[in-house]
């Protein structure tokens, strides 16, 4: 599966959020609402965001 990035999402006009430690709650709430409304939504997670020390 190919890498999904911001530029592709912007080109397709698809709504998305970039998860960070500062905005994760709002981003997840927005994603859930869009999905409940039947709309597509993407959460982008930067490399290392879920780093578990491996």
Question: Per-residue confidence of the chain (54 residues) as pLDDT tens digits?
Answer: 346 788 888 888 889 999 888 999 999 999 999 999 999 999 998 777 777 664
**Using an 8 Å Cβ cutoff, are 19 and 49 in contact?**
yes
pLDDT score, position 52: 65
| Tokens representing residue 5 in the block | 């990035």
CA angle 23, 27, 30 (to 5 degrees): 145
For the beta carbon of residue 13, count every other beta carbon within 10 angstroms.
6
pLDDT, position 1: 34
For the chain, the domains span 6-44
The H-or-E segment that residue 7 falls in is: helix 6-11
The verdict on pTM exceeding 0.85 is no
């Amino acid at each position: 599966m190919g890498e999904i990035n911001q530029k592709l999402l912007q080109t397709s006009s698809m709504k998305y959020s970039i998860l960070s430690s500062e905005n994760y709650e709002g981003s997840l709430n927005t994603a859930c609402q869009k999905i409940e409304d039947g709309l597509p939504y993407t959460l982008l997670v930067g490399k290392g965001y879920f780093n578990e020390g491996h």
